[in-house]
Structure 1
Amino acid sequence: MSEKQRVAVVGGGFAGFTAARTLSRMARGAIEIVLINPTDYFLYLPLLPEVAAGILDPRKVAIPLAGVCPGVRHLLAGVDSVDAGNRRLRCTDAEGNPRDLGYDRLVIAVGSVNKLLPVPGVAEHAHGFRSIAEALYLRDHLIRQIELADATGDPKERQARCTFVVVGAGYTGTEVTAQGQLLTLDTRRSRPALRDQPIRWILADLAPRILPELDERLSRTAHRTLAGRGVEIRTGTSVAEATTEGVELSDGEFVPTRSLIWCVGVRPDPLVESLGLPTEKGRLLVDEYLNVPGHPEIFACGDAAAVPDLANPGKYTAMTAQHASRQGKQVARNVAASYGRGERKPYRHNDLGFVVDLGGAKAAANPLGVPLSGFPAKVVTRGYHLLAMPGGRARIAGNWLLDTLLPRQTVQLDLVRGPAVPLTSTSPERPGGLSG
């Protein structure tokens, strides 16, 4: 090449971050790599429930892009539109200024946002869980409800404030329930007036079991662990309506509560639909090489891409962090191959198993297909997260050690108010519709 070519990577989540980092190592300065993301960090989402529980400092799960992506130019902005015909991006930077950027290769890895369902009142009264801001808000909210319950003399209000409803029993909903319940129990412990007050947690999902995407044995382990702590697990159930006084479940029961946590899943970032390219349920269609058909210069990976699952013909890979990271590596190799560096290969995957943290010393895991529960699963779960983290491992391990040795601080930080994290729009960490 007579001059440097520019590769633009849109999105700094698992897929985009891994793609930019891998390509930088392969290109060794021969290609200009621009990573466009509205934050200056990579967010390790699987540990966000521990941020909400006060176990981890939020900075521990925010890995600075400048420190772990050498050779990558970071543009602090959100992408508004893509002109595929002229190979240009229209962006808005962190201060609201428009930016225009040309590219030779484009990697679309914009990730996903909260999935909304047409349930009356949910948009006004529920809060999602996809960002640091949402995790900090939830932590303050849970502690605040226990404190307000302690302050009121009305038994009905007290019960409502001590009732928490989580909708969605996938990874996020299950872990948020597990960690959130332990946090509220810790908060109650220092308030003698609430000693006999039940703390009620309800985990609801339309699926026939919690963690439906996991092996049934792991699902049973998680169900047994949470139910043993007193969590009410409502399968085949969802929310019919949400109000300021509580939620009506689809089975007809009205639950007085001030806490509705929305974890029903995710949908591809709206930017994908605006591209004018073929999609499948909101995900950009690509071939097995992660290339957009008819556009050899455009690649896509992660939650934004409908990637053929070669292990299950006719299906697409699931929207998981494990797939996103691996696809990010493969898309980097295929982009490099398009410049004559190596050979492009199709995306294939082998299931390494899954881990679910259930709070305390409990977890469920199946590394390489071996089912584990209890403390052994906890060791595997935390070991997996440490290995998967691109940096800051010692700091995270230090926080875990302190949480084991010292009582948890149950105080409100009052950093994020509810109006700052509405369910109906992208979070402050994802302006312009861009997610990780």
Structure 2
Amino acid sequence: MDISSRVVVATALGLPVALILLLLVIIGADPALTCASLLSAHGVTGVGGPTEQSVAGLSERQLQLARNGVAIGKQRRMRESVIIAELAAQATESTFRNLANPAVPESLNYSNDGLGYDHDSVGPHQMRASIWGSVGIATLMDPIYQINWFYDHAQQLGAAAERMSPAELAQAIEHSAPNAYGAQLELARRLYALFADIDVSSMPRTSAGSSAAGCGPTGSGTPLPAEASAFGRAVIEHAARWIGTPYVWGGGDTSGPTGGGFDCSGLTLYAIYHASGGRIRLPHYTQAQQDHPTAQPVSFAERAPGDLIFFAAPGDADSHHVGIYYGRDEQGRDLLLHAPQTGQTVTLTPLSAWEGERTDARRYTSPSTPTPDTTPGGRA
């Protein structure tokens, strides 16, 4: 977090966030928001669905990071002004994104919300790897760790923090340019109001002296499988940012969720499209994706992270479900990143859940020119 560069960054970020403020609308309130409550894919439905709270202009991932800023602060019994300072710092440093950085190559091995280029800064609070990296890149790329880091430093300031305004406190912790955080205070206050009623008892319990766990993992900051190709990594990264997004039949296109979510083939067409830089536009139908000209059949034994796995019931000719092969977990189980079914959300599921079904693996190769949209009428 270099002071001279932060002046430019803060000024540049102030403009888009100011526009976000014009679009920020909060409707309704729920006195019992919980960590189990999910945000919509567009970020236009608040925690808990029926509460009908909305924040236009912020993605689900941005809202989830803001929600964790509030939830962790409340679990740690931080004052409102301290939580607002944390939100203003996230807004200024990263616009609520867990950023990797090419200057820290190891950070690219973790699921993230995009790339930042400020020296060797990573994460939502843009912590310098050369200064804070002794904890290891896996910890530094964990947004929950970075939010707790901010609150740790607020506690260390003790009584001095109580005399500071939120902008002054953010400056004292981040050591950025003077007045860098003031422009984001209104956004921070609105986001605090949106999540202020979260039920702290719904959060995972933590032992005394340990960091608060927030509202749980959301995909960002998780390690990408080491054996994935560059294209496979990109497929996983683009899909993983939507973990927690509701399943919506027929939902999803190349721009993101539609109707509030994704179905299985909507998620895969989105991930393949963006991983290929827009060169592969798959149809919104499982069997058509499996038969697409860019799909290279591979044996199940040769599967690699980022491949699509198609499932067909015994005796059926066409596949009925598709997901992204994620790799193996610590127990050696194969995992599928997918949008399961109505009432569930984008998640990771062991492949053993489809035992007895036919599985077909496809690997996609990017053409030099974009493929035409040949979507048939049906969807799956």
TM-score normalised by structure 1 residue count: 0.22
Relative contact order (C-alpha < 8 Å, sep 6+): which is higher? Answer: 1
TM-score normalised by structure 2 residue count: 0.24
Structure having the higher Rg: 1
Judging by fraction of residues, say which structure has more strand. Answer: 1
